[in-house]
Amino acid sequence: MPTSPRIQVGCQTNAWPIDPSKPETLFTSLRDIDELGFEGFETGFRNVLQLADQRARLDVQRRGLTFFGVHIFLQEYDSHSGVAPVDLALKVAQAGADLGAERLILSGVQATAEALNGVAAQLRPLEVQLAYHNHGAEFLGPRPEIETLFAETDPGLVWFLLDAGHAFRAGVDLPVFLADHAARLTGIHLRDFKGGRQVPLGQGDFPLAQVAGALQARNWSGWVLAEEEREDGSKPGVHAAGPARAALKQAFGV
């Protein structure tokens, strides 16, 4: 199988039971992620806001993992922008930058391109990249919202973190989508499903081999990240992340 050394593999920490008030619970997940052979990690913003001390910063850096990004996911978003309020986004971006995070990741509901462009412009002094993370709704309807965001955001400012699991469940032809949009993707969340229930990556119906082939055909150079959180709230940790790492190695050769 051809390998692509430019593709890097990471893991979301959502699969672990993390208490934001207890940084050691995050460090446990980072230890596991490192030992499983991942190169980097992504975590939620509440975890990062609790790491504003030098000891925590050193602990994150010591593990040798790339801090791919910090993700703001909310139950409710700003009614005008469709994403997190600007003051929260900038606060999280600064906290992440202080810890070495390379990206601020925003989710939203009917997010506007204007808002994403505006936040991204304000991140430039921090040298933090903005990435928009989709859910399933952005792919629905005759004029999918995701296509509007790709068309109307500034490609020099705004990147996308494709949640391929949500896209797959929304009926997207992922190899075709990737062929059209790979150049704007800074990373891809990968998750798998069997009979409507999430299973470890590589053990379900998700077309992982086809996704890998489409990315390699485009000579893509971003991050693929295992996202093994569960909709039922369970936290399988290494029991799901371990098989996911093996599946990524088989599919991508890294």
pLDDT one-digit tens code per residue, 39-68: 999 999 999 998 877 677 777 777 889 999
Asked if residue 2 has pLDDT above 60, the reply is no
With respect to residue 161, please indicate whether it lies within any of the assigned structural domains: yes
With respect to residue 1, please indicate whether it lies within any of the assigned structural domains: no
CB proximity list for 147: less than 8 A, separation 6 or greater: none
Q: What is the spatial distance between Cα 68 and Cα 39, in angstroms, rounded to a whole number?
A: 9
At 137, which CATH number?
3.20.20.150
Domain that holds residue 88: 8-252
Domain count, the chain: 1
CA 240 vs CA 40, 44, 210, 224: distances in Å:
17, 19, 21, 16
With respect to residue 195, please indicate whether it lies within any of the assigned structural domains: yes
pLDDT one-digit tens code per residue, 192-224: 999 989 999 999 999 999 999 999 999 999 999
Mean pLDDT calculated for residue range 107-133: 97
Q: Is the pTM for the entire model greater than 0.85?
A: yes
With respect to residue 2, please indicate whether it lies within any of the assigned structural domains: no
Q: What is the spatial distance between Cα 211 and Cα 252, in angstroms, rounded to a whole number?
A: 10
With respect to residue 3, please indicate whether it lies within any of the assigned structural domains: no
